[in-house]
Amino acid sequence: MASTVIKGGTVVTADLTYEADVKVEGGRIVEIGKGLSGDKVLDATGCYVMPGGIDPHVHLEMPFMGTYSADDFESGTRAGLAGGTTMVVDFCLPSPGQSLLDALSMWHNKTSRATADYSFHMAITWWGEQVFNDMETVVRQKGINSFKHFMAYKGALMVDDDEMFSSFQRCAELGALAMVHAENGDVVAQMQAKLLAEGNTGPEAHAYSRPAEVEGEAANRAIMIADMAGVPLYIVHLSCEQGHEAVRRARAKGMRVYGEPLIQHLTLDEAEYAHPDWDHAARRVMSPPFRNKQHQDSLWAGLSSGSLQVVATDHCAFTTAQKRTGYGDFTKIPNGTGGLEDRMPMLWTHGVATGRLTMNEFVAVTSTNIAKILNIYPKKGAILVGADADIVVWDPNREKTISAASQQSSIDYNVFEGQHVKGLPRFTLTRGHVAIEESKVSTREGHGAFVARPPVTAVNKALSTWKELVAPRKVERSGIPVTGV
């Protein structure tokens, strides 16, 4: 079997920084040390050798708002690799009444051209006995240990509190992670109707219809319900101080709650929606919307202090033509933005180069933390012997200006257009295959494989032990109470 040695670099993991060569064979890391040799050498002089990024929140070829997101598993994973991301986690979305297993087959059918590894979260979009039963199969036989609940998108993906509580309890029983899109969908629907009735039809009204309170309320509600169900909770695309405050409070109380800001919310703000060009503003319509600088500061502080653990993209790219279906009615603009190729360079530039994050924290929030939360560590998220050789050789001095003209994503614009980034992959390896060498792309269609994720993390065990200890217990009493005394 041919081996590859990454030579002369500095290994940077979530907890260590040291000089070593890394040898890869058969898709895995087989040796780490000084003076290694192999059949092929990759020169990592001046570079950091880090675990490849994991983006736990993408929507590739997603059926949504009457259309499909434009990047599929080929272009999406290629975009990821170009930016140092070697694994993505997509969301399987059953239609109302559809079995989870049927939906899962449909999602697996989309992945044959994936160029990097992937996994799925399962969404709970309706509730019934079949869903309850399917959840067990999904966890025990299908390698999925996380269930997403949309608290928004009323009339489409949204679930209500009794559905959410039922599902959270089932997650707890099965040793799975509960996830939420935290926005109060009832309030959003009313605000949308009012804005439209008042003639506010443009993309800026999208932001007005989803203020931070809408997110803070839903985050709080989900946290309380998760506490009662005894399940760990992961809040996707957490965008504001109100949501972050709820997470901080829960964690201070000892709860296992995780928050995932997106690179878009960290670096782009609400001024984008005031742009005079309709296309510019509509291309940035996503939920939750971009916020102001105070919210951004809160998210950065959360990453530095550890109250927020993961940076994702929610990559859900729509072309300008798709966005234009919402001209005259902002509620019809497909919600979503891209970012897969730009997450790591943007986070390095705005996080590490500014001193907000250490290099080790960068690795933690782009890869290792989510690998642990999703129970795939150290197969993923690690530079260790035996781990998958999903590696990015990061050159802190390579730079570029982000432009749609040179991106891998199939859409016709980039929300980060014109941003200058310093810190880019020199090489990206997916299970040992060198898919990216500076700007040369050598991805292999079909190379990407499904990553099964076993249930019952240490956190699930601790929570179920605790719930058992404090479970209601009947008080046995003898005799009949005497009345009238």
Task: By CB under 5 A, name the binding residues for Zn ion.
Answer: 160, 162, 181, 314
DSSP secondary structure, 311-369, as one string = -B--B----HHHHGGGTT-GGGSPP-B--TTTHHHHHIIIIITTTSS-HHHHHIIIIIH
Residue window 315-344: x/- pattern of binding to ligand URP, with contact defined by CB under 6 A: -x------------------xx--------
From candidates 241, 260, 272, 314, binder to ligand URP by CB under 6 A = 314
Residues in region 218-257 near ligand URP by CB under 6 A: 237
CA 329 to centroid of chain Cα atoms: 29
CA distance 104 to 168: 20
- DSSP state, residue 289: P
Shortest reach from residue 5's CB to ligand URP, in Å: 40
Shortest reach from residue 67's CB to Zn ion, in Å: 15
b/e burial code for range 342-379 (CB count within 10 A of at least 16 → b)? bbbbbbbbbbbeeebbebbbbbbbbbbbbbbbbbbbbb
Q: Rank residues 239 and 369 by Cβ distance to ligand URP and give the closer one.
A: 239
User: Which partner, Zn ion, ligand URP, none, binds residue 56 by CB below 5 to 8 Å per kind?
Assistant: none
Shortest reach from residue 63's CB to ligand URP, in Å: 11
Residue window 22-51: x/- pattern of binding to ligand URP, with contact defined by CB under 6 A: ------------------------------
Q: Rank residues 317 and 436 by Cβ distance to ligand URP and give the closer one.
A: 317
3-state secondary structure of 299: helix
Name the token pair of 80.
């990821």
From candidates 287, 307, 366, 419, binder to ligand URP by CB under 6 A = 287
Does position 265 bind ligand URP by CB under 6 A? no
CA distance 225 to 371: 25
User: Which partner, ligand URP, Zn ion, none, binds residue 335 by CB below 5 to 8 Å per kind?
Assistant: ligand URP
Strands 3-7 and 21-25: antiparallel
User: Which partner, Zn ion, ligand URP, none, binds residue 336 by CB below 5 to 8 Å per kind?
Assistant: ligand URP
CA distance 456 to 460: 5
Q: Rank residues 138 and 157 by Cβ distance to Zn ion and give the closer one.
A: 157
Shortest reach from residue 403's CB to ligand URP, in Å: 23
- The closest residue (CB) to ligand URP is 335
Name the token pair of 220.
């709080």
Using an 8 Å Cβ cutoff, are 255 and 462 in contact? Answer: no
Q: Rank residues 19 and 162 by Cβ distance to Zn ion and give the closer one.
A: 162
- Residues that bind ligand URP (rule: CB under 6 A) add up to a total of 9
Residue window 95-134: x/- pattern of binding to ligand URP, with contact defined by CB under 6 A: ----------------------------------------
Q: Rank residues 9 and 56 by Cβ distance to Zn ion and give the closer one.
A: 56
- The residue length of the chain stands at 485
CA distance 221 to 259: 15
CA distance 307 to 309: 6
Q: Rank residues 202 and 336 by Cβ distance to Zn ion and give the closer one.
A: 336
Using an 8 Å Cβ cutoff, are 338 and 408 in contact? Answer: no
Using an 8 Å Cβ cutoff, are 89 and 313 in contact? Answer: no
Other CB atoms within 10 Å distance of the CB of residue 284: 23
Shortest reach from residue 335's CB to ligand URP, in Å: 3
Residues in region 167-196 near ligand URP by CB under 6 A: 181
Shortest reach from residue 182's CB to ligand URP, in Å: 10
Q: Which amino acid is at 430?
A: T
Shortest reach from residue 286's CB to ligand URP, in Å: 4
b/e burial code for range 22-33 (CB count within 10 A of at least 16 → b)? bbbbebbbbebe
From candidates 7, 23, 59, 295, binder to ligand URP by CB under 6 A = 59
Does position 215 bind ligand URP by CB under 6 A? no
Interacting residue ranges for ligand URP, rule: CB under 6 A: 59, 181, 237, 286-287, 314, 316, 335-336
